[in-house]
Structure 1
Amino acid sequence: MPIAGPAGSPTDARRTHRRTRQERRDRRSAAFDLLAVVAALALVGLGLVNLYLVGEVELATRQGAIAAGGLLALAVFWRVRVRYLGVLGWAAYGAAVLLLVGVLTVGLSANGATRWIAIGSLTFQPSELAKLGLLLALAAVLGSGRPAWQRFTTAVLLAAVPIGLTLLQPDLSTAMLLVVLAGTMLVIGRVPARFLLPLAAAAAVIAPLLIGLLRPYQLTRLGSFLVGAHESPTGSGWAVRQAHIAVGSGGLFGRSDDPLRVLRAQYLPERETDLALASLVGQWGLAAGAGVVLAAIVLVWRLALASRAPRTPHGALVGGGLAILLGTETVVSVGANLGLLPLAGVPFPLLSYGGTALVVHLAAIGVVLAVRRDGAKRRLWALPGQRNPRPRLVRLAALGISVLLVSFGVYGWRLQSTQGEALQVVGQEQMTRCFRLPAPRGTITDRHDVPLAANAADVGTGVDRVLVVPSLLRARPADVDRLAELTGRPREELHAQIGAAEGPVLSLPVAEVPRSISDAVTAAGIAGVFVVPEPRRSHPHGALLGPVLGFVGVATPEDEERWPGLPSGEVVGRAGLERQYDATLRGVNGRQCLYVDPRGVPVALGERVDPVRGADLRLSIDLGLQQRLDASLAVAVRAQPHPAGRIGAAVAMDPRSGQVLAIASTPSFDHNVYGPPIDVGALQAGSEAPGSPMLEHVTQAVAPPGSTFKLVVAAANQAHQVFAPHRAIPTGADFTYGGHTFGNWKPMGPMDMVESIAISNDVYFYKLAVALGADAIIDTARTLGVGQPTGIDLPAESAGHLGTPDSARAEGGAWYGGSTVILGIGQGDLQVTPLQNARWTAGVATGSLVTPRLGLAVGTGPDAFTALPAPAATPLPFAAELGPVREGMRAAVTAGTAVRFADLPVPVGGKTGTAQDGGLPEGEYDNWMSAVAPMDAPEIVMTAMVQGPGTGGNSARNVVADGLRHYLEHQPDVVGTGPLQAP
């Protein structure tokens, strides 16, 4: 017992010094208590902020009330003395075990697990209490003075009970935390290694067997983590992906001012619990995340240091065990939020929503702070050897936890800096759905901008569709009433239709109205109501240009292959010019975007991109000449004795540029049968009608050209001359070659080439063909485009057929001498289109071969048209030698078979032809006429083909004569066009 010294003695000074040091320690203890509480309060407060930011105000209020209770528990347990820890620990442990047993019998189940007990409107999770009870119980056992084997055995048995009961729920994540807690307590409680190593080995052997205990969702989580899968929309891979989006797009200080903040938060599953950290970073940025991690590190370190203050091992183990438990929970939660660890269902301590966990953690902190506070009153006179040994490795564990958390923080920063923009785009895309606003299709006009094909609604013959977003209008009945009034629909009916469209419906058609009404709907500006044009084309001139203009329809697989990326249901050009120039006419679709919740239900309007109307296509066709040529062709076909199934075709072309001024085909079809909606009956009737009205006969019908081919044979003589063009050759009534006799259409005397072209002397051309040989004729024919597509800007053009000795052998036949003979008059193995005929006629007349073109210009208005580039004419290699052939064409008009054209006001040249066709009945032929005017400076070539009797007048001549007369009488009006910019 110390002996008191006199007043003012050295003994008094030492006592005063000791009291001063004790007061300093008490002040430091109080400061430590305050810092730990502030860190805990920061985590609780940020958790409440997260709930508020994600729109869970009710949960935030509930969690705030529970937090107040937890703080009260912290304050109460702060006053507990170490000597009462044993009683508190066994009481908590016993209560936890009893409640865990109760869960298995009367607990609440959810998602295949039974983990909660309900007390009135409150629910309680006993496994959370088990953490505190096991911590205190193990601290009491391991901190006792019993032999090591007794402490180890008792501790293992104590831990096995709550761990086993938790596994039965099943709650694997909490069970694993209890295992970590038990293992931690054994290590820091200085249990000898000879006991720990066998236990660790047994755990390593048993661990793989636990996979069989995993629930399907737990296996999915593990698999998602191992293979990096981001399945949608309920898997853990999806959850981690959403956590990455939240962290990566949160920025430094978050996006709390984003009007879509709450909607974005809905895409993060478990944003209140397991992924609360990612949610907070997404809302308040990396700064908030760093604050959370810093507060957790501070709390772990203060709890770890508290393990060095108590006077007893019991109290020290409580502080050390709780420090490592909280640190482990924090590491697992942060790692899972970043996708660095499996999503194990471990909430962030104090931050995540959960009443039981919050109260237990705060109460546990209060217990540790009480131990620390009690340790400030340690006996100053105890000898060093008599002081209790401190828990081992606690500070090292705290350091490791801190390093891991800092490393995770760096990873989160790098994730945001390297992938932030991309993740923001992904986040925006997943909450955005758009529906198409179809672009109005451009108009097809003649060269004077007279509409030939237009949108039905633009010309007053079609309708527009009214679309609504049901989920947006349901909450605004007044707007629905207004829409019903505008569209003329009964209010109750419209309300019922919109009300029935539940779920992820982006747009719902509610009316089809004429343009005047759709304009009124647009002007009303009702949010969530849109007007789009019905994709129907109008053709003011019916069947006049049916096969040429073609039709539109919903894209087929073939169309989708031709134009990759077509949206589903897109209306495209399916035939004719509509198909050829679809990319120009179709325009660019717009879109109306909507923001949707994770179920896909629209909740707000997003970006709108207005459609860009397709460009108008101006054709080289003159409507007046087209109508005249079509009418004459129809008269010629109907005048035949048997018009059914007979076809006619006529084309007028500028021989210098290839511009097609008119292109007539009969029979034809009316585009309107293609709708929408398609007139199935009319379409079927058209496809089965005689004469193939669905074909464009100028470019798709082929027939032997007859005597019009003599121009090609004559040109071959000029290129490979065997007869002098002005040398008279004996002809007569027939020609015998190889034992076969080939007749003339009438007996004739000697003639030169010019006369033979004019009078169409067959025998002359029989002899010329034999003299030239097949190869020379075929070579020249190919040079003039025979047997190959002309290149006109129409799809599905026929190449025709030009037989050769090689092709005959390839087909298993033979090329005889007679084959060359009849080739001289355009018969035999030869099929051409009327356009090919017109092209070679133009080539002979001008000396150049042109590419026929229908498309003249594209633009968006009368003064904004740009000329389409056209291929340059190709000079013929024998152009300089073609004079006698042209003389023959002119002579046909002045004194030959084409005198029908002699009364025209300009000199005309031409060639008639009558060809036998195996597809026609006996006595009927393919009647041809090709003419050029003026012959001395060609401006127009016109070719016609009409099937019918060959006796009497060639009906094709009348068609061409009428067409030429119309052209010559109206030439300035026919060829004139609006302003054009250079291509």
Structure 2
Amino acid sequence: MDISIFTNMRLKIIRLTIIGLFLLVTLDLFYVQVIRGKYFFKLSKNNSIRIVSLEGWRGRIKDRNGEILADNRTAYNVMVTPQDIIDIQKLFRFISRVTGVSQKKISRRYRQKKFTPFTPVVILEDVTRQTAITIEENTYRFPSLFIQKSFKRIYPLEGNSAHVLGYVGKISQAKKEKFKEYGYSPQSVVGYLGVEEYYDRYLKGEQGGLQIEVNSRGQQVRLLSLKEPTKGEDIQLTIDSRLQKIVQELLEGKLGAVVVMDMENGEILSMVSSPTYDPNVFVDMQKRKSATKLFKQASSPFMNRAIKGQFPPGSVFKVPVAIAALDSKKVTPYTSFICRGFYELGGIRFGCTHVHSAQNLIESLAHSCNIYYYRIGEKLGADKIYHYASLLGLGKLTGVDLPYEKAGFIPNRRKGLLSRRQWYAGDTLNFSIGQGDVLTTPLQLTLMMSTVAREGIEVQPHVIKNISGRKLDQSSFLQRIKIDKHIFQEIKKGLRATVTDYTGTAHAVNLNEIYVAGKTGTAQSSKDKEHHSWFVGYAKGEVRNIVFCIFLEHGGSSHNAVLLTRQLLLKMKQEKML
């Protein structure tokens, strides 16, 4: 072959190769600068920096003995940075295949959470550790995809103390502006109800973050800056989780509430509302459907009946009426009235449970004679009864350190009735025995009984023992009611006789090894339902002195509350809690 021809062919091949390579480079430049120009411009300028927020873990909540009631565990969230996405459908297919979540759901979550192209989006929360590892191993294929470590709140004892604890969740749309003012990010976890909400400012950790430089494949090149998140403060409660368990078992299948408080310092040892719920349903993805069902239940499992339930106290209200009559000198402890089983006023008969015959004040408390209180109610008048009920803490907030407490309602002639109708003489009689428009909470009656037991010294009920070891100042919790202590001593005789007298309404709780005193109440509710059952009292043991309130919503006779109290006190004695 002619050497010149061979040389020419080689030159042509070289030229074609150069032209081909030039075309490839041109096409690549066209793709980079025109088709994906904006993306690569941002990447080269500032989007090679990825900002990742790091949430501070919440402080733990423990009971009085150190038992952990609320804790945290590591969670893995699947994150996507929108401006780094190359092929969104391919990305979603991969995430779906690895996690088992449908592409439709992933796409919907992405659209809901996307704020700006530069803000990472939480696609899925709390995936398994193995899933997180698989995703991390494939981030080179998907530069926008990464795993963020977070935390999940856990409640090891489930429904134990749920109403005291509350639960956590993301900030609701309605509260975003409010929380923004306090420095919370839209993704922050906050407390709802109970201690989780009331003490959120102490429990919440301080948010941190990091800036990392990533290459075009989404892989970390170097750490640019880091602000370590800080953990929230631990809180220790006055609650005894062992006692909570005992009370919950006693209330199983019933509507109601129980409060047990240390008489000396106002520490709430137990506060149980029934039915209860498991706060884990709000943080466990597998249980969230259960939360929706709970909200629809007629039994209102989320309502803490101990502080939000407002019910007529029935004959428990005879305690402040008796105090009012003695302090106003309308009667003495020995003043007697005849009970014929009814009292007639304006042609209307107001009944009593029995024909008690002659009753003095002490006996009237022990036997819960309505007639006695109709008579002294007439002597006192509605406004005087209102004054003493208020003095003993009824009709106003107790100030317990839990959110959404209700104040109840104590009527008088000035405030009127809930129905706004005219006040009649018969309303005063109903008022005198804790019926009509009188509404109280179980905690209010607990506090009232504590004041009586301590002969006029009122304590502040509370559920927090310390925050990060800092004890609360108990001395400021005590104040004296302006009623002569001798009056309380006379009332206490009647409360003790309620238990010790063979015909006393709480004789079933007359225990040799435990000193018990109190007042029963059977309160009428709606016509087609059972009455409410109450027993409010105090007990003295070797370990401590307590005041308690047992309330059974539509529980029938007060005898049922007395029987439950007997079981509770004996169990506390057995477990060396009393």
Of the three residues 508, 511, 515, the one matched with 1:907 is 515
1:841-880 equivalences in 2 (<5 Å): 841-846=449-454, 847-859=456-468, 865-869=469-473, 871-880=476-485
TM-aligned CA distance change 1:513 to 1:801, over 3 Å: same
Deviation at residue 730 of structure 1 after TM alignment: 2.2
- In structure 1, give the amino acid aligned to 2:242: G
* The 10-residue stretch of structure 1 (502-511 or 673-682) with the greater mean CA deviation from structure 2: 502-511
- In structure 2, give the amino acid aligned to 1:962: Q
2:118 corresponds to: 504
Partners of 1:949 and 1:506 lie apart in 2 by: 54
CA contact (8 A) 1:930 1:960 kept: no
- 1:399-453 C-alpha deviation (Å, 9 max, x unpaired): xxxxxxxxxxxxxxxxxxxxxxxxxxxxxxx998743201111222211111222
CA contact (8 A) 1:535 1:571 kept: no
- 1:535-576 C-alpha deviation (Å, 9 max, x unpaired): 432222222322322111111232641552211121101222
CA contact (8 A) 1:844 1:879 kept: no
Partners of 1:559 and 1:444 lie apart in 2 by: 25
Deviation at residue 507 of structure 1 after TM alignment: 7.4
CA contact (8 A) 1:757 1:888 kept: yes
Deviation at residue 590 of structure 1 after TM alignment: 1.3
2:420 corresponds to: 812
Larger fraction in strand? 2
1:437 corresponds to: 54
Partners of 1:512 and 1:796 lie apart in 2 by: 31
2:563 corresponds to: 958
1:448 corresponds to: 65
1:254-333 equivalences in 2 (<5 Å): none
1:412 corresponds to: none
Of the three residues 897, 901, 907, the one matched with 2:505 is 897
Aligned-residue sequence identity (percent) comes to 28
3-state SS, counterpart of residue 807 of structure 1 = coil
Deviation at residue 748 of structure 1 after TM alignment: 0.8
- In structure 2, give the amino acid aligned to 1:648: G
2:432 corresponds to: 824
Deviation at residue 942 of structure 1 after TM alignment: 1.0
TM-aligned CA distance change 1:810 to 1:801, over 3 Å: closer
CA contact (8 A) 2:397 2:406 kept: yes
CA contact (8 A) 1:471 1:603 kept: no
1:93 corresponds to: none
1:544 corresponds to: 160
TM-aligned CA distance change 1:573 to 1:840, over 3 Å: same
Partners of 1:906 and 1:763 lie apart in 2 by: 31
Partners of 2:523 and 2:413 lie apart in 1 by: 22
3-state SS, counterpart of residue 543 of structure 1 = coil
TM-aligned CA distance change 1:904 to 1:544, over 3 Å: farther
- Bigger radius of gyration: 1
1:942 corresponds to: 548
- In structure 2, give the amino acid aligned to 1:444: I
Deviation at residue 616 of structure 1 after TM alignment: 1.7
1:660 corresponds to: 268
- 1:935-976 C-alpha deviation (Å, 9 max, x unpaired): 99982011111134635x7221122222222333334xx48x
2:348 corresponds to: 740
CA contact (8 A) 1:845 1:938 kept: no
The two structures, once aligned, show a CA RMSD in angstroms of 3.9
TM-aligned CA distance change 1:904 to 1:440, over 3 Å: farther
- In structure 2, give the amino acid aligned to 1:553: G
- 1:158-186 C-alpha deviation (Å, 9 max, x unpaired): xxxxxxxxxxxxxxxxxxxxxxxxxxxxx
CA contact (8 A) 1:907 1:936 kept: no
Q: Does 1:632 align with 2:224?
A: no
CA contact (8 A) 2:311 2:439 kept: yes
TM-aligned CA distance change 1:596 to 1:949, over 3 Å: closer
3-state SS, counterpart of residue 703 of structure 1 = coil
Partners of 2:310 and 2:256 lie apart in 1 by: 11
- In structure 2, give the amino acid aligned to 1:536: K
CA contact (8 A) 2:417 2:437 kept: no
Partners of 1:748 and 1:652 lie apart in 2 by: 32
Q: Does 1:615 align with 2:240?
A: no
Q: Does 1:569 align with 2:187?
A: yes
1:8-407 equivalences in 2 (<5 Å): none
CA contact (8 A) 2:267 2:461 kept: yes
Of the three residues 728, 731, 749, the one matched with 2:339 is 731
CA contact (8 A) 1:467 1:510 kept: yes
CA contact (8 A) 2:176 2:186 kept: no
Partners of 2:162 and 2:391 lie apart in 1 by: 32
- In structure 2, give the amino acid aligned to 1:558: K
Partners of 2:176 and 2:126 lie apart in 1 by: 28
Deviation at residue 729 of structure 1 after TM alignment: 2.4
Of the three residues 880, 888, 902, the one matched with 2:494 is 888
- 1:709-751 C-alpha deviation (Å, 9 max, x unpaired): 1111112123322101122222221111233211110001211
1:480-495 equivalences in 2 (<5 Å): none
Show structure 1 runs of 5+ residues with no match.
Answer: 1-233, 235-262, 268-429, 458-462, 475-483, 490-500, 638-646, 860-864, 976-983
3-state SS, counterpart of residue 893 of structure 1 = helix
TM-aligned CA distance change 1:694 to 1:511, over 3 Å: closer
CA contact (8 A) 1:789 1:798 kept: yes
Q: Does 1:921 align with 2:532?
A: no
Deviation at residue 886 of structure 1 after TM alignment: 0.6
Partners of 1:937 and 1:884 lie apart in 2 by: 26
Partners of 2:399 and 2:133 lie apart in 1 by: 43
TM-aligned CA distance change 1:779 to 1:894, over 3 Å: same
The answer to which structure, 1 or 2, has the higher relative contact order (CA under 8 A, 6+ apart) is: 2
- 1:368-395 C-alpha deviation (Å, 9 max, x unpaired): xxxxxxxxxxxxxxxxxxxxxxxxxxxx
CA contact (8 A) 1:790 1:851 kept: yes
CA contact (8 A) 1:433 1:595 kept: yes
Deviation at residue 798 of structure 1 after TM alignment: 1.3
Partners of 1:473 and 1:921 lie apart in 2 by: 63
Partners of 2:565 and 2:418 lie apart in 1 by: 39
Partners of 2:417 and 2:553 lie apart in 1 by: 31
Partners of 1:755 and 1:936 lie apart in 2 by: 29
TM-score, structure 2 normalization: 0.77
3-state SS, counterpart of residue 566 of structure 1 = coil
CA contact (8 A) 1:653 1:942 kept: yes
3-state SS, counterpart of residue 649 of structure 1 = strand
Partners of 1:445 and 1:521 lie apart in 2 by: 36
Deviation at residue 854 of structure 1 after TM alignment: 0.9
Show structure 2 runs of 5+ residues with no match.
Answer: 1-37, 87-93, 100-113
CA contact (8 A) 2:509 2:563 kept: no
Partners of 2:256 and 2:363 lie apart in 1 by: 29
1:692 corresponds to: 300
Deviation at residue 472 of structure 1 after TM alignment: 11
1:502-541 equivalences in 2 (<5 Å): 504=118, 532-541=148-157
Partners of 1:607 and 1:869 lie apart in 2 by: 42
Deviation at residue 675 of structure 1 after TM alignment: 2.6
Deviation at residue 266 of structure 1 after TM alignment: 6.3
Q: Does 1:464 align with 2:464?
A: no
Partners of 1:542 and 1:510 lie apart in 2 by: 24
Q: Does 1:760 align with 2:368?
A: yes
TM-aligned CA distance change 1:740 to 1:614, over 3 Å: same
2:31 corresponds to: none
CA contact (8 A) 2:418 2:437 kept: no
Partners of 1:515 and 1:266 lie apart in 2 by: 34
* The 10-residue stretch of structure 1 (961-970 or 875-884) with the greater mean CA deviation from structure 2: 961-970
Deviation at residue 580 of structure 1 after TM alignment: 0.9
- 1:316-344 C-alpha deviation (Å, 9 max, x unpaired): xxxxxxxxxxxxxxxxxxxxxxxxxxxxx
Partners of 1:810 and 1:517 lie apart in 2 by: 59
TM-aligned CA distance change 1:887 to 1:605, over 3 Å: same
Deviation at residue 826 of structure 1 after TM alignment: 0.7
User: For this pair of structures, how many residues does the alignment match?
Assistant: 499
- In structure 1, give the amino acid aligned to 2:186: S
- In structure 1, give the amino acid aligned to 2:194: G
Partners of 2:296 and 2:122 lie apart in 1 by: 38
- In structure 1, give the amino acid aligned to 2:202: T
